[in-house]
A and B are shown apart, each in its own frame.
Chain A
């Protein structure tokens, strides 16, 4: 994955083009292509372009799903989840920002961003998804930001391997967890900090990185500048933004955001009931897919309609995407198209011959390599995590 500077700058240009043109040349059919091309994006312009805002302060905003006709999600259109919002910019810039590595290590480290960049640079294209994406579809409703479909995105993340940084510090015997602390702080000091940890095994995985670039650009402020954790295949509660402290330790992180929030019950919970048994942190993604085009409420002409979208399985490859136009009675297999990388999403397409005028509901569901298929609705849990029910878009076919 290591790229030399020349091929890197070339690939960066290719990358920007990909962000700009979306599926462009990949899909041969459909009215969607001119529209996608017409929406050329300047990825450097504005940090939150056309997002659907759920909470103004601190900002929680999701991406309109039609953006997912592009393989990579533009930085300015990438969903934003904030616990407290970005720290003051001056704390994150060169003279002030440092990353410290401490705890059960042989040598504590404190490094500047320039020093951190001395480690081998790697890139990984990965889906980042909020654990609460789709919470709005749980019934009864679960408390929290009512995310619908777009608290997810696919981006190329560039940085250094966490394992390389940990190796330099030297991990002592008895370590089982690696804790992350960002520089974001609550307005009121008595509110618990967003302190999280991941098991050592995930921390040492060669694809777990500390990222300072997103889609070939320096990490934007809202996405964790100058450095965030990327745990490919895992939900974004492990992807700490504005990272400043890494602590290597025996136990899981303490505090609300690890011990109470971002957990799911280990045994099924009856709808609307509170969990009573043991719970486990939200970690790996579950297989999921979305219809990106046509968009909900759109009117299309009778004739061939290009239905397209994305599907991802986190640490597991997507094996199949199916589409139904009869409320799940029959399913037709879609064609997987475009790039195929671990942790990234897979684009898919199905040409549907719309013969009669009327209202139609397009459903899609994906199956991963382990044979896990998206359920019609996901198991209820008190905090509404890990929704992966069939995606559903209703369109009109004009006479």
Chain B
């Protein structure tokens, strides 16, 4: 986003309500955001943003909503895999949590979310899931490829084609849900069906 584009958005927001108003609106927005949405936003930060940079870069910013918008749009433009809905959620979450009036040191985001329900849209473990390889290819490309390489041949993360972990499904699931070494946890981003689909696709490779 250029300065002039940025200034258009900025003047619109600041010009109408003033900086104090923006901050108050952001605080309110935080109240509106449900715990589950915050959890989902944090999951997006790990899965979409942390592909290129660690999340500490985000947590040290204190920006008004217009600049968060500009930043998220810039990242999307640069190749961050975020949908329109995800962009909106990220901007809402980031500008509520990391606004100019926020304290230098914030409590961990999940301190009030301990009881939050995990983001699963369908019941877990109602019998074994059957993965669909054709769907898995797309889910892999969207979520895993940046680190594990196109067609899972490896990159910053290990090669997954014919990787022994594919035969140890419990380990495979554990790594995706909770992370492993440098790999972040994907439990708040991928649904169990997604994971099963990715697995199904990988074993065909």
Q: State whether the Cβ of A192 lies closer than 8 Å to any Cβ in chain B.
A: yes
Q: State whether the Cβ of B143 lies closer than 8 Å to any Cβ in chain A.
A: no
Closest chain A residue to B68 by CB distance?
A: A143
C-alpha gap A60/B54 in the complex (Å): 11
Q: Which of B60, B63, B67, B80 has the most CB of A within 10 A?
A: B60
A194 CB, min distance to chain B CBs, angstroms: 13
Interface residues of A in 261-306 (CB under 8 A from B): 265, 272-276, 279
Inside 8 A of A191's CB, which chain B residues have their CB?
52, 78-79
A188-B146, A191-B78, A192-B78 as given contacts; A274 in contact with B3, CB under 8 Å: yes
Inside 8 A of A192's CB, which chain B residues have their CB?
78
Inside 8 A of B80's CB, which chain A residues have their CB?
188
Inside 8 A of A53's CB, which chain B residues have their CB?
56
Contact of A143 among B7, B71, B79, B146 (CB under 8 A): B71
* B10 lies within 8 A of A273 (CB): yes
Closest chain A residue to B78 by CB distance?
A: A191
Q: State whether the Cβ of A146 lies closer than 8 Å to any Cβ in chain B.
A: yes
Closest chain A residue to B61 by CB distance?
A: A143
* B78 lies within 8 A of A56 (CB): no
* B3 lies within 8 A of A56 (CB): no
Inside 8 A of A145's CB, which chain B residues have their CB?
57, 60
Q: State whether the Cβ of B180 lies closer than 8 Å to any Cβ in chain A.
A: no
Q: State whether the Cβ of A57 lies closer than 8 Å to any Cβ in chain B.
A: yes
Q: Which of B54, B71, B100 has the most CB of A within 10 A?
A: B54
A101 CB, min distance to chain B CBs, angstroms: 29
Inside 8 A of B100's CB, which chain A residues have their CB?
140-141
Q: State whether the Cβ of A9 lies closer than 8 Å to any Cβ in chain B.
A: no
Q: State whether the Cβ of A189 lies closer than 8 Å to any Cβ in chain B.
A: yes
Contact of B78 among A60, A140, A190, A276 (CB under 8 A): A190
C-alpha gap A140/B146 in the complex (Å): 34
* A54 lies within 8 A of B60 (CB): yes
Q: State whether the Cβ of A11 lies closer than 8 Å to any Cβ in chain B.
A: no
C-alpha gap A143/B19 in the complex (Å): 16
Contact of B3 among A55, A141, A143, A382 (CB under 8 A): A382
A140-B100, A143-B71, A273-B10 as given contacts; A187 in contact with B51, CB under 8 Å: yes
A153 CB, min distance to chain B CBs, angstroms: 21
C-alpha gap A56/B55 in the complex (Å): 9
A140-B100, A143-B61 as given contacts; A187 in contact with B146, CB under 8 Å: yes
B98 CB, min distance to chain A CBs, angstroms: 10
* A141 lies within 8 A of B78 (CB): no
C-alpha gap A186/B52 in the complex (Å): 7
Interface residues of B in 41-65 (CB under 8 A from A): 51-54, 56-57, 60-64
* A274 lies within 8 A of B10 (CB): yes
Interface of A is mostly: loop
* B156 lies within 8 A of A55 (CB): no
Q: State whether the Cβ of B4 lies closer than 8 Å to any Cβ in chain A.
A: yes
* A274 lies within 8 A of B6 (CB): yes
Q: State whether the Cβ of A14 lies closer than 8 Å to any Cβ in chain B.
A: no
Contact with B along A172-198 (1 / 0, CB 8 A): 000000000000001111111000000
Q: For chain B, give the interface size range.
A: 20 to 34
Inside 8 A of B54's CB, which chain A residues have their CB?
55-57
Q: State whether the Cβ of A58 lies closer than 8 Å to any Cβ in chain B.
A: yes
Inside 8 A of A279's CB, which chain B residues have their CB?
3
Q: State whether the Cβ of B2 lies closer than 8 Å to any Cβ in chain A.
A: yes
B26 CB, min distance to chain A CBs, angstroms: 14
* B3 lies within 8 A of A275 (CB): yes
Q: State whether the Cβ of A44 lies closer than 8 Å to any Cβ in chain B.
A: no
C-alpha gap A273/B14 in the complex (Å): 9
Closest chain B residue to A188 by CB distance?
A: B79
C-alpha gap A192/B79 in the complex (Å): 10
Closest chain A residue to B10 by CB distance?
A: A274
Contact with B along A58-96 (1 / 0, CB 8 A): 101000000000000000000000000000000000000
C-alpha gap A16/B183 in the complex (Å): 40
Q: State whether the Cβ of A359 lies closer than 8 Å to any Cβ in chain B.
A: no
B158 CB, min distance to chain A CBs, angstroms: 15
C-alpha gap A54/B58 in the complex (Å): 10
Interface residues of B in 1-19 (CB under 8 A from A): 2-4, 6-7, 10-11, 14, 19
Q: Which of A54, A143, A192 has the most CB of B within 10 A?
A: A143
Inside 8 A of A26's CB, which chain B residues have their CB?
none
Contact of B79 among A55, A190, A265 (CB under 8 A): A190
* B60 lies within 8 A of A276 (CB): no
A188-B51, A189-B79, A274-B6 as given contacts; A55 in contact with B146, CB under 8 Å: no
Contact with A along B71-92 (1 / 0, CB 8 A): 1000000111000000000000
* B51 lies within 8 A of A143 (CB): no
Closest chain A residue to B70 by CB distance?
A: A143
A148 CB, min distance to chain B CBs, angstroms: 11
* B7 lies within 8 A of A187 (CB): no
A187-B146, A276-B4 as given contacts; A54 in contact with B56, CB under 8 Å: yes
C-alpha gap A188/B61 in the complex (Å): 23
A156 CB, min distance to chain B CBs, angstroms: 31
Interface residues of B, Cβ cutoff 8 Å to A: 2-4, 6-7, 10-11, 14, 19, 51-54, 56-57, 60-64, 67, 71, 78-80, 100, 146-147, 156
9 smallest A-B Cβ distances: which pairs? A190-B79, A274-B7, A56-B54, A188-B79, A146-B60, A141-B62, A57-B54, A55-B57, A191-B78
6 residue pairs A–B, Cβ–Cβ below 8 Å: A57-B53, A141-B61, A146-B61, A274-B6, A274-B10, A276-B4
